[in-house]
Amino acid sequence: EAGVAQSPRYKIIEKRQSVAFWCNPISGHATLYWYQQILGQGPKLLIQFQNNGVVDDSQLPKDRFSAERLKGVDSTLKIQPAKLEDSAVYLCASSLEGWGWQETQYFGPGTRLLVL
């Protein structure tokens, strides 16, 4: 079974530029998550999709971050404009349902973003 795919793996941009990340979840998984992981910290949830609807985006900085999940499968996360403090690893995860009892999340390899 293929895992969660993410691209690009690395991205270096200047502050105030825009950047987009792509995620393809495990086939059949209804729920998709985007996390931000700053060096030395645990992942922090940015947004959760159930199929193509947003379930939780309470920690998403909506003035600069946006995300969409078209047709309930792939997802993109965009930052516009980027700030220095956005330098982090952006992880995508998926789970079978997301609202069920003790759902396990499976993670992709992440995209490392460096903002200069």
Partner 1 sequence: EDQVTQSPEALRLQEGESSSLNCSYTVSGLRGLFWYRQDPGKGPEFLFTLYSAGEEKEKERLKATLTKKESFLHITAPKPEDSATYLCAVQARGQNFVFGPGTRLSVLP
Site for partner 1 in 56-95 (CB under 8 A): 56, 91, 93
Q: Is 40 left (phi over 0), alpha (psi -120 to 50) or beta?
A: left
CA atoms of 24 and 6, how far apart (whole Å): 6
Please report whether residue 41 would count as binding partner 1 according to CB under 8 A: yes
Please report whether residue 22 would count as binding partner 1 according to CB under 8 A: no
What does residue 57 show for φ and ψ, rounded to 5 degrees?
Answer: -135, 30
For partner 1, give the closer residue by CB, 12 or 18. 12
Please report whether residue 42 would count as binding partner 1 according to CB under 8 A: yes
Greatest CA span in the chain, whole angstroms? 42
For partner 1, give the closer residue by CB, 40 or 53. 40
CA atoms of 11 and 13, how far apart (whole Å): 7
Please report whether residue 46 would count as binding partner 1 according to CB under 8 A: no
Smallest gap from Cβ 91 to partner 1, in A, equals 5
